[in-house]
Chain A
């Protein structure tokens, strides 16, 4: 086997094993950073094709399918792993280091899977490896949250393999390619993808778990699971119309929740959900332009979302909190982190010269080309909404607004490097998008910097900013307060447990009543028999004296018969 034909995931798994025998510190960090670089270089040099086919119980498993769609996801996953690991340079925690490598490896493996059995293995791999990034926080809350996360992620995998089995029975193939959403098997696969992609009402694991992970763990988590699901949808269900509507709802509802959420890492999780919506709409449209939009948006999004999680994480690392109500005014002593956060905010808000501008517009153009006015209006509204929570709320209430009195030290040097490189990439993509465009699944002839587009976007954003300024100065902006907001997770965290408790109470009461009644009537029966047939009973007085002799004689006779016939 040539070195190029080694599935990239295996390199990550080998590195994860190597970590365990290396001493903590520099040697490990070299492996943590070297693995993604080596992998990206190998993937780049391998070129496109189908490598590493392995027979497995009569199936042909394809461990390394590299085409233009999977390659861009594999490359951005490698880049995200590098940046996340650089941000976590200070970590001396074997568990998180192994989990980070195994998790990135699984996500890359899934993106390279050419068949759905391989996909399933890696799908579950991402679930199992990633939960340790939550549990590593080591608190009771993180444990409970991790359990909820794991149950949902594993359920997604179980539904996937059930769908694959049904699909195989229906079609006789396990190849992972475009499917028609028409049969039970494809619906199960679709729902499985939807769970990981945080479809509306299946979404809440995301906002529940990402704020519960460790500071560095959240940065890693933000890159892989959901974008893997986007890739899987793009591969399997491109052009499926229902995705347009699902995606539109996804872009809309999180912006309202993000606006009132206090925990900034949860705000970012809502924002992530909203960004996934744009990608899902792109998949639903399914044209070449739209799929290019999805892939490029995923690429840019992984970077600016990681940057935002890093900046909030750096603040948390220095202050112990990520709650907007406790923060404010940190630009004084963490100015570099503040600037990097602003770059991330400008990128996600899609200001011209930043990465969001050159990628999100592909999806919007694709929607407009299909003349879907309502969808388009929703997406433009959602773009303004992104500015609201990610563009304004995160940097403004962390680094500006009222002075919290905290004077934390600037983020450690390795975090600044991680944020700096990511920020540089956000701007580089925005200023010079051609290399990214060249990586996209389909050929693209698109010029984002036209007068129309720039002016339209500037109008949208600056007038939205103006609305914020007017509302804020009028004191009408919802204040940052310590509170939680109910979302759909209230169903399984509050309502279902209360219903279960109520049901348990009723069933237990019924059980106690019925068994009590049986016990009492049995006791009454015994008491009555004793009363009539007991030694002092009225019937006992009339028994003949020879009754005992008679019964012994009968028993002996029975014994004789048994012995005779046996």
Chain B
């Protein structure tokens, strides 16, 4: 089997494609917090923009400052928690539908091209 970390002891970030090394910035220690703060800053700016002009909308509530921000935040959170609750109701083992279901069968190996990035 390819794609197993134990098969690729020579995992060397220097070998990654250049773009991959650049994207690696997100995984450096502490950078997730930086990203979070940047996101917070963007949110503050977006919210602040509400005061720079008068929002026109088809409904009154659209004209309330920051309506979209609050609605987005609240509804998104509600969605996550509702989905967590839904999972309690509908989650089943992966073999729930028996062995003639795709959920616990492997994709046919002959239709794949499993390669590791340092394979040729």
The residues of A with any CB-CB pair to B shorter than 8 Å are 90, 137-145, 211-212, 214-215, 255-257, 259-260, 263, 316-321, 329, 331-336, 338-339, 365, 368-369, 371, 373, 376-377, 380-381, 384-385, 387-388, 400, 403, 405-410, 412, 451-452, 455-471, 473, 476-478, 482-487, 493-494
- CB pair B119–A409 under 8 Å, yes or no, is yes
A-B pairs with beta carbons under 8 Å apart, 7 shown? A140-B100, A260-B83, A318-B112, A320-B109, A409-B116, A462-B39, A483-B91
- CB pair B3–A484 under 8 Å, yes or no, is no
Choose one: B53, B73, B86, B92; the contact of A463 (CB below 8 Å). Answer: B73
Given contacts A141-B101, A459-B66, A463-B70, is CB(A260)–CB(B87) below 8 Å?
A: yes
CA distance A487 to B103 in the complex (A): 14
Chain A: which residue is nearest B102 at the CB level? A141
Chain A: which residue is nearest B118 at the CB level? A407
Measured between beta carbons, the chain A residues less than 8 angstroms from B82 are: 256
Is B58 an interface position by the 8 A CB rule?
Answer: yes
- CB pair A380–B46 under 8 Å, yes or no, is no
Measured between beta carbons, the chain B residues less than 8 angstroms from A400 are: 26
- CB pair B58–A369 under 8 Å, yes or no, is yes
Chain A: which residue is nearest B4 at the CB level? A405
> Digit string of B20-41 for contact with A (CB within 8 Å is 1, else 0)?
1011101100000000100110
Q: How many Å from the CB of B120 to the closest CB on chain A?
A: 9
Q: Which of A212, A333, A377 has the most CB of B within 10 A?
A: A333
Chain A: which residue is nearest B58 at the CB level? A368
- CB pair A459–B72 under 8 Å, yes or no, is yes
Given contacts A407-B11, A409-B117, A486-B90, is CB(A455)–CB(B55) below 8 Å?
A: yes
Given contacts A317-B112, A333-B17, is CB(A407)–CB(B97) below 8 Å?
A: no
CA distance A106 to B100 in the complex (A): 30
CA distance A315 to B62 in the complex (A): 41
CA distance A283 to B115 in the complex (A): 46
Given contacts A214-B111, A373-B59, is CB(A408)–CB(B73) below 8 Å?
A: no
Which 5 pairs from chain A and chain B are nearest by CB? Answer: A405-B5, A368-B58, A259-B83, A333-B117, A335-B19
- CB pair A462–B79 under 8 Å, yes or no, is no
| Tier of interface size on chain B | 35 or more
Given contacts A332-B13, A466-B40, is CB(A406)–CB(B3) below 8 Å?
A: yes
Measured between beta carbons, the chain A residues less than 8 angstroms from B114 are: 318-320, 408
CA distance A169 to B11 in the complex (A): 71
Measured between beta carbons, the chain A residues less than 8 angstroms from B42 are: 462
CA distance A468 to B106 in the complex (A): 32
Q: How many Å from the CB of B106 to the closest CB on chain A?
A: 7
The residues of B with any CB-CB pair to A shorter than 8 Å are 2-5, 8, 11, 13, 16-17, 19-20, 22-24, 26-27, 36, 39-40, 42-43, 46-47, 49-50, 53, 55-59, 62, 66, 68-77, 79-84, 86-87, 90-94, 96-97, 99-103, 105-109, 111-119
Chain A: which residue is nearest B115 at the CB level? A409
- CB pair B91–A260 under 8 Å, yes or no, is yes
Measured between beta carbons, the chain B residues less than 8 angstroms from A463 are: 43, 46-47, 68-70, 72-73, 76
- CB pair A256–B20 under 8 Å, yes or no, is no
Our count of residue pairs bridging A and B at CB distance below 8 angstroms stands at 254
Measured between beta carbons, the chain B residues less than 8 angstroms from A332 are: 13, 16, 20, 23-24, 117
- CB pair B102–A456 under 8 Å, yes or no, is no
Given contacts A141-B102, A320-B106, is CB(A484)–CB(B62) below 8 Å?
A: no
Chain B: which residue is nearest A392 at the CB level? B76
CA distance A73 to B109 in the complex (A): 36
Q: How many Å from the CB of B15 to the closest CB on chain A?
A: 9
CA distance A463 to B48 in the complex (A): 13
Q: How many Å from the CB of B77 to the closest CB on chain A?
A: 5
Given contacts A407-B8, A467-B73, A484-B94, is CB(A459)–CB(B101) below 8 Å?
A: no
- CB pair B102–A371 under 8 Å, yes or no, is no
CA distance A375 to B37 in the complex (A): 34
- CB pair A471–B83 under 8 Å, yes or no, is no
Measured between beta carbons, the chain B residues less than 8 angstroms from A331 are: 20, 23-24, 26
CA distance A154 to B111 in the complex (A): 28
Q: Which of A318, A462, A470 has the most CB of B within 10 A?
A: A462
Q: How many Å from the CB of B24 to the closest CB on chain A?
A: 6
CA distance A385 to B56 in the complex (A): 24
- CB pair A335–B20 under 8 Å, yes or no, is yes
Choose one: B16, B49, B71, B94; the contact of A333 (CB below 8 Å). Answer: B16
Q: Which of B58, B84, B91, B111 has the most CB of A within 10 A?
A: B111
Q: How many Å from the CB of B22 to the closest CB on chain A?
A: 8
Measured between beta carbons, the chain A residues less than 8 angstroms from B102 are: 137, 139, 141-142, 145, 211-212
Given contacts A333-B20, A460-B72, A463-B43, is CB(A455)–CB(B50) below 8 Å?
A: yes
Q: How many Å from the CB of B98 to the closest CB on chain A?
A: 9
- CB pair A407–B116 under 8 Å, yes or no, is yes
Choose one: B3, B39, B69; the contact of A408 (CB below 8 Å). Answer: B3
CA distance A517 to B11 in the complex (A): 76
Given contacts A260-B87, A319-B3, A369-B58, is CB(A467)–CB(B92) below 8 Å?
A: no
Q: How many Å from the CB of A133 to the closest CB on chain B?
A: 12
- CB pair B86–A256 under 8 Å, yes or no, is yes
CA distance A463 to B71 in the complex (A): 9
Given contacts A256-B79, A460-B71, A484-B103, is CB(A493)–CB(B97) below 8 Å?
A: yes
Chain B: which residue is nearest A93 at the CB level? B111
Measured between beta carbons, the chain A residues less than 8 angstroms from B109 are: 320
